[in-house]
A and B are shown apart, each in its own frame.
Chain A
Amino acid sequence: MIPLGFLGFLRFFPLNGAITSLDLNVFGWTFLALGAVASAGGILFALPQANLKRLLAFSSVENMGVVAMGFGLSALIKAMNAGDSLASLCLAGALVHILNHAFLKGSLFLAAGSVLRQTGTLDQDRLGGLMKRMPFTGALFAVNSFALAGLPPMNGFLGELALYIGAFTVLKTGVPVLVAAGFLVVVVLSLTGALAAAAYAKALGSTFLGFPRSENAAQAVEAPRRMWLSQLALTILSIAMVPGSVFFIHIQTGGYKSQMLVAGAALGAVFIVFTVFLLMLRRFVCPRGKEKRTSLVWDCGYDEPTPRMAYTATAFTQPLADFFRPLLRSRRHLIAFKGDPAKPTDAAIAAETDDIAIRALWRPLFTKFARLFQRAHLLQNGSLHFYILIIHIAVLVLLVFALVS
């Protein structure tokens, strides 16, 4: 549902239809600026979220930002007449990214729903270890989060790759405006990509890997088959989109630079083949009969590791969240311990990051409006006579207004 807005924009600003270059410039820079802010900001806010669904929702903001940057770059290339196939490469990359994101994010949200149903919580600090307890949901979540982190060999990477190729090619043209736009896209995409990898490593790692950090997570069982079958269907669509994305972009651009995308997708397949080869090699070189043993996890020689010692989701993102603290405005609740300093049992720390748009824009705005309407409350005093008087006054005013004009 989220990308529907883009459909509206494309209807009003047909990038391939008749439109003046001034309009294209305005459209391009607006989309580029909004896209850059949305993608970098979205992923920055996704990172420290403890709630799994909120993390995924902020990541949607990021992905829509990437799509908007693709649209903007495409419009600017059009405006500068720097090559139709280059413009359609960026546009096709953005469109393909919409499709890929829809499949991937849909599957991830369904998986989050399964987690909620089986454990009763979405707080990543209280989850963990679900891969053993919910193997199908976990495996599908792993594949999809790898793709949405924008990494090869999955489909989430290919749309971004098309954008990278477009942005780098734009740098080649040497037109100053386009060079600035290209650099903006490259820098924002690289920052977004790296932070998205961190956010999805956190989502997957703290929800499905490691130790269960609460009773609910420890007792969880696999969700009903129908719940993960729908995720499986979406994941299969995503895998089909690996060649599908290349094919779609190839058709849209008429084969422009498509050997690069084919190389990207094919080398992704080589990557998988290599992994399988190394796994087989490992089995082959290992001495027969004692391939693997299990042991306690290393905790400096301590032999009773508890889930309390594992890194939580909030702890994992703390260094990045701290670095961007002036932007994120995270709130920290520190409960200092009392009593014997040698036994700090009661100390606790929690961090929370709100949506800055809600806190700095919408909530103050709505409070102002609420206050304004409180004043208007004077008119609603419950007396029928007063209401009739108001109606009369209104009719009178309208009459005068109609007569004057």
Chain B
Amino acid sequence: MNILSIILAAVLSPFFIGVVNQTKAFFAGRKGPGFFRLYFTIGKLLRKSRMLPENSTWIFDIAQSASLASVAVAVIIFPWTGGGGVSSFVPVAFFFYLLAAGRFLTVLGALDAGNAFEGMGSSREVQFSAFAEIVVFIVLGFLVFLSADTSLSGVLSGIRVEDWKDNVIPLVLVFLAFVAVFLSENCRVPFDDPETHLELTMIHEAMLLDVGGPDLAFALYGAALKFELLAAFLVMMVMPCFGSGWVHAAALFAGVGLISVAVGVIESVMARMRFLKSPQSLMGAALIAALAVLVFICF
């Protein structure tokens, strides 16, 4: 059942990106590209040959594959059915270090191409992720404190209904802080605009300018998986655990769908922040998370 849920997660992830895009299309009054557009794009890209910048080395060659592999391992260890399996042995820090490894590889791949835009994108990416990392680990510290468990599944399924009754304020604050991380790590508005077509305003897309063919398919699929993973993390922070199994998995995926709609709404009603504001907002999120910890400990 665990393996089935992992396969389901792997298959569904491009669909959620479709949900975001359809929501945006609905707000803009367009027909939209359809819920399954990303599947076709990935299929098309996989059949193409690769195009490498002439100056690049083996780092560029393996960067996207290794990056996708790190996210794939993160998908495998995630407790999709609410607990048990590998996830109860995995330290919660490992999960985020896997995602960091994937990002490190993408950044190296971008630097290997050796042009100005990719350097710019990777420079911004490491800056934002450094601040996001602090927020993530304060939130994790809070969750460990709350759930009295240090494993990935323990932390995520340790939130009960009573916790929501007793500690509404810190939980809401922590949730808000993690929303900021979720948007920033997935390169969504207001931190990054996935639809911008000007190289100078890109962050994540700028790192992929020279990536093509199957490598681009891997990069797009990896981004979709990461979106789904962090959205699921967000859902499990809110959702009090009601037993393991299919009910849990179904509720989880429904929650991810809701978050996708919410992301689409945010992107339709908001513009991207100035670049200088993004690190400040993430520092603000870190302070909010720290405040949540203080509120939780003191009251």
Contact = CB atoms under 8 A, between A and B. Distances in A.
B235 interface: no
Given A146-B104, A187-B134, A274-B69, A286 B53 contact: no
B124 A171 contact: no
B119 interface: yes
Interface string A107-132: 00000000000000000000011011
A275 B65 contact: yes
B72 interface: yes
Given A182-B141, A295-B52, A295-B54, A205 B108 contact: yes
A310 B127 contact: no
A309 B115 contact: yes
Contacts of A161: 91, 93-94, 97
Interface residues of A, number: 84
A250 to B, nearest CB: 14
A299 B215 contact: no
A264 B77 CA distance: 11
A310 B119 contact: yes
A174 B144 CA distance: 11
B59 A267 contact: no
A275 B69 contact: yes
Given A211-B114, A285-B46, A291-B49, 5 more contacts: A172-B144, A187-B141, A201-B108, A267-B86, A316-B126
B145 A171 contact: yes
A136 B52 CA distance: 21
Q: Which of A151, A200, A298, A323 has the most CB of B within 10 A?
A: A298
A297 B54 contact: yes
Interface string A132-154: 10000011001000100111100
A315 B118 CA distance: 12
B77 A271 contact: no
Interface in B82-127: 86, 89-94, 97-98, 100-101, 103-104, 107-108, 111-120, 122-124, 126-127
Interface stretch (A18-26, A68-76, A189-197, A230-238): A189-197
A311 B123 contact: yes
Given A194-B133, A209-B57, A267-B77, A275 B140 contact: no
Contact of B51 (A295, A305, A309): A295
Nearest to B289: A187
Q: Is the interface of B mostly helix, strand, loop or mixed?
A: helix
Contacts of B127: 198, 319-320, 323
Interface of A: 128-129, 131-132, 138-139, 142, 146, 149-152, 157, 161, 164-165, 168-169, 171-172, 174, 176, 179, 182-183, 186-187, 189-191, 193-195, 197-198, 200-201, 204-206, 209-211, 259-260, 262-264, 267, 270-272, 274-275, 277-279, 282, 285-287, 290-300, 305, 307, 309-311, 315-320, 323
Contacts, number: 263
B112 A152 contact: no
B114 A310 contact: yes
A287 B49 contact: yes
B251 interface: no
B45 to A, nearest CB: 10
Given A187-B134, A282-B214, A298 B55 contact: no
Contacts of B53: 294-298
B218 interface: yes
Contacts of A150: 97
A271 B293 contact: no
Given A168-B150, A193-B97, A193-B100, A209 B50 contact: no
Contact of A171 (B55, B97, B126, B144): B144
Contacts of A274: 68-70, 72-73
